Structure 1
Amino acid sequence: MGGRKNLEGVSLAAFAREMGVTPNAVRQRVQRGSLAGVILADGSVDAVKARVQWFANSNPNQQRRKPAAKTSKLREAAEGAEENSEYDLKVERMAVDLEAAKINLERLKEATVDREEARRAIRSLMLVFRAAMLNFANRHASDIAAEVEADPVRLAGALEGYMRVALAELAKTRAPLDAGTFGDSAC
C-alpha cells in the first residue's frame, strides 16, 4: 500500500468524490470510452484531463450529483474556472448585444428625420406649390382659352379667382407633424 502514496494522479475513488458520483459511475465511463486516456500507467486518474472529458461528455441537466463530503482545492479551482468562463461568456454576449443595439440605432438614425427639419421641408414645399398655383392662370390661360374658344383675359381672371379660393381653403388645413398651416391665409 506504500506505493499508493506516490500516485501520479488521484485515485479513482478520490476523483469520484470530487465529481460527486460513485466510483462505479467513473469506472463505467472509463469502460464506455467517455473518459479515454485518463487512466495513468500507475492506475491513478489524471484529474484535470478526466474533469475536462467528464464535462465535455455529459449533460448537466441529466446529472444527479451527490453532495461531496470534502471539497478539494482542485474542485474549487475548476468551479472557479467554470464561473469565470461563464462570467466571461456573459460579458461577451452583453458586448455583442450592445454592438447589435448600436448598429440598430445607427440604422434608425439614417431612417428618421428631425421633426423641425421635416416641418421646414413641408413648409418650403407648400410655398413652392402655392407659387406655382398662383402662376398657373397667367401661364396657361391663353392656351386653354384657344382650345375652348374663350376670352383669355376673362378665363385668366376666373382661373386665378378659383385658385386663390382653393389655396385659401388649403391654408386652413393642418400640415402633418403640426407644422402649422400650409400657406398664409392672406392669399
Structure 2
Amino acid sequence: MSVKQNVKEYKRELILEAAAKLFYEKGFQKTTIDDIGSALGVTKPFIYTYFENKYAILEQLFEQAYGELHVDLMQVLNNRKGAAKDRLQQFVTLYVAKNIEYQKFSAIMLEEEKSLSARKIGDIRRKQRDFDAKLARLIEEGVSNGEFHVGDPMIASLAISGMVRWTHRWYSPQGRLSAADLTRTMSDLALNLVGCAPA
C-alpha cells in the first residue's frame, strides 16, 4: 500500500471512530454529518470525500465490527478437535471478550441494525443463521457423546448467543467483575444451560 493510500485509510478510520462514538452516545438518527465533522475539526465536504452519507458510514462500521467478530467466532465453531465442552467454553469466552472489547460497536449493531439497507440486513441475517446453526451443531455433538443434556440444541444455541450479545448493555469496567471474571462466569452459565456442570 502506497503512502497516499495509507493516509487515505487513516483518515477513513478517523471518521469511522468519531462516528461510532457519536452513534453510541447520541444514536444514529440524531447524529449528523456536521456532528461528525465537528468532532474531527473538519468540514462536511471532507467527510463526503470518503463516504457518500452517514448510512455508508454505518454500513462500514457494521462491515468491520461484525466481520471481525464473525470470522473469529466461526474459526472456533469450525474446529472439530477436542471435547465439545472445551470448545463451547472457548467459544463463549471469546464471544464475551469480543463483546467487551467492542462494547460500543456491539451496542450500535443491536440498536441501529434497523437503519441498514435491506441488502445489508439480508447479509447479516444469513451470517447469523449460519452462526446459530453451527453453534447448535456443537451442542448436538455434545448431546450425542453424552457431554451435554439438553432437549433442544437450537434453542440452547439462541439462548447462549442472546445472553452474550446483551453483555454490552450492563457490563462496566468499574463494576464488580473484571473482564476475566465475567468471561469465566458466562462460560460456566453456558455449560449449565446445556446440562453440563462446570469443572
State if a TM-score over 0.5 links the two structures.
no
Q: Which has the higher helix share?
A: 2
Structure with higher RCO (Cα < 8 A, 6+ apart): 2
The alignment's TM-score, normalised by the length of structure 2, stands at: 0.25
Normalised TM-score (structure 1): 0.27
